[in-house]
Amino acid sequence: MIPKTITSVLVLFIALGLFAQDDRSFSDFLKLFPGKTISPEDQMKFLGIKGPFPEERLEFEKRTAKSVVRSNKDFTMVSVQYECIAGGICESIHLYSFTNSGKLISLIETHNQLADCAFQKSTETLLFNDTIIVTKDYAWEGECIDEPSGNESIRINTYLIEETGNFNLIREQVVDISRLYYKTSTQVLSREELHLLSKEELATMRNEIFACYGYRFKTQKWFDYFQKYEWYEATHDEINETDLTAVELLNLQLIKELELE
């Protein structure tokens, strides 16, 4: 009979060996970055992708380790590119966060292109810093005709990067693209783009940001101007800059700077 002390030591060594194996496995997974193909086994173990992976599936889709985006004492963040063989465009990039032992914490889609003649869907990243990620979802649906027409929609998503590595969706904004300057809400504009506008156009663009939130203008000129648009509803006596998205705030700051030049 094996003494209890020896048994305890053996159990401890086995347990430590298992933990070390898990750590090495995640370390091996990270060595795939950048540029190597992720095996079906690693996809299921680390990315949470459902199996099985028959031969025809392997021919249809592929996931590539794109880059290690961030690594600290609390979590590791990586981006993974997905490609599939379809009748049109089919590709995406997902951002994954893991504990440093390899447990999946959270994931979001930061890039996407999916399209054929009857629909188009895309996602792009507008802002990415230490605390937030802002993405834009575009969708169009129509008919396969020579001169396509259909319905378009744009949604802006704001994610908070929490200290744990979790991506917390804190805001969704559907943008009315019938606005003259709706791009102030859907992309970070450059100084070169805005330099082409007159001071009056810049003022209109700046005020439209507040108008889309229903600001009731106290200046008659701007109230009369926006009143003619169907999308405008004067519902708020006050709109603070904290009510705006991070993209709108960046554009607003640049517009104000150019108006003073």
Contact 120, 143 (CB under 8 A): no
**From CA 190, how far away is CA 176, in angstroms rounded?**
21
- Given 124, 146, 175, the domain boundary residue is 175
If asked whether residues 157 and 42 sit together in one domain, one would say yes
If asked whether residues 50 and 35 sit together in one domain, one would say yes
- Given 140, 175, 210, the domain boundary residue is 175
257: its two tokens: 């700077």
- Given 157, 175, 193, the domain boundary residue is 175
If asked whether residues 91 and 107 sit together in one domain, one would say yes
If asked whether residues 223 and 123 sit together in one domain, one would say no
Q: State the CATH number of the domain containing residue 256.
A: 1.20.58.1690
If asked whether residues 160 and 136 sit together in one domain, one would say yes
Residue 18 domain flag = no
Residue 9 domain flag = no
Residue 1 domain flag = no
Q: Which residues pair with 150 in a beta bridge?
A: 142
Residue 207 domain flag = yes
If asked whether residues 50 and 161 sit together in one domain, one would say yes
Three-state SS string over the chain comes to: CCCHHHHHHHHHHHHHHHHHHHHHHHHHHHCCCCCCECCHHHHHHHCCCCCCCCHHHHHHEEEEEEEEEEECCCCEEEEEEEEECCCCEEEEEEEEEECCCCCEEEEEEEEEEEECCCEEEEEEEEEECCCEEEEEEEEEEECCCCCCCEEEEEEEEEEEECCCCCEEEEEEEEECCCCCCCHHHHCCCCHHHHCCCCHHHHHHHHHHHHHCCCECCCCHHHHHHHHCCCCCCCCECCCCHHHCCHHHHHHHHHHHHHHHC
If asked whether residues 112 and 186 sit together in one domain, one would say no
Residue 130 domain flag = yes
Residue 204 domain flag = yes
pTM confidence score: 0.84
| CA dist list (Å): 132 to 125, 186, 203 | 11, 16, 28
Can you give the pLDDT at residue 14?
40
- pLDDT averaged over consecutive 10-residue blocks of the chain (261 residues)? 46 42 74 95 93 81 95 96 80 96 96 84 96 96 68 95 97 96 97 95 98 97 97 95 94 96 90
If asked whether residues 149 and 210 sit together in one domain, one would say no
Contact 75, 100 (CB under 8 A): yes
By residue range, what is the domain housing residue 221?
Answer: 179-261
What values do phi and psi take at 50, rounded to 5?
-75, 135
Residue 138 domain flag = yes
If asked whether residues 156 and 253 sit together in one domain, one would say no
If asked whether residues 80 and 171 sit together in one domain, one would say yes
Contact 165, 105 (CB under 8 A): yes
If asked whether residues 162 and 236 sit together in one domain, one would say no
Task: Provide the number of structural domains found in the chain.
Answer: 2
Contact 234, 214 (CB under 8 A): yes
Residue 8 domain flag = no
If asked whether residues 140 and 184 sit together in one domain, one would say no
**From CA 106, how far away is CA 167, in angstroms rounded?**
6
